[in-house]
Amino acid sequence: MTVLESKLIFIYKKVSSFLKKYFRNKYWTAFIVFIIWVSFFDNNSLIRQVQRKYQIVKLNKEINYYRKELEKTKQEEKALKYSDEYFEKFVRETYLLKKPDEVLYIFSESKN
């Protein structure tokens, strides 16, 4: 018998004695089964809780993003309502409108 085989036999005996010692008690066995069930198989398992927390964080980031966008849109709406210069600038840039005596040059950005 080699040294490796003797070490494996020793480890096997230690593990089997540990398992026999603790799984002989039905309460300990029930507790272990309960922990495994709650951790992996239940509807509110630890894995699903972590997934839900990640989803909540992601949704909160989206909420904050859309709140900021809403604020920007409200400010732009106020500026468009009360400022004729800003309204003219916005319409010219967005819809490419021009005055009758103007020439309009459009530059596009290439993605090369």
pLDDT, residue 1, reads 65
The answer to whether residues 88 and 95 touch, using CB atoms and an 8 Å cutoff, is no
pLDDT in tens, 43-55: 888 888 999 999 9
Distance in angstroms (rounded) separating the CA atoms of residues 102 and 32: 81
Amino acid at 64: N
For residue 9, pLDDT over 80 is answered with yes
Q: How many Å separate Cα 112 from the centre of its chain?
A: 32
Question: Who's near 106: CB < 8 A, 6+ residues apart?
Answer: 96
Please give the model's pTM, rounded to 2 decimal places. 0.54
Task: Write out pLDDT tens, residues 58-106.
Answer: 999 999 999 999 999 999 899 888 988 888 888 888 887 777 887 877 7
The region that residue 96 occupies, defined by phi over 0 for left and psi between -120 and 50 for alpha, beta otherwise, is left
pLDDT score of 31: 87
What pLDDT is attached to residue 112? 64
> At a CB cut-off of 8 Å and minimum separation 6, what does 70 contact?
none
The pLDDT of residue 41:
84
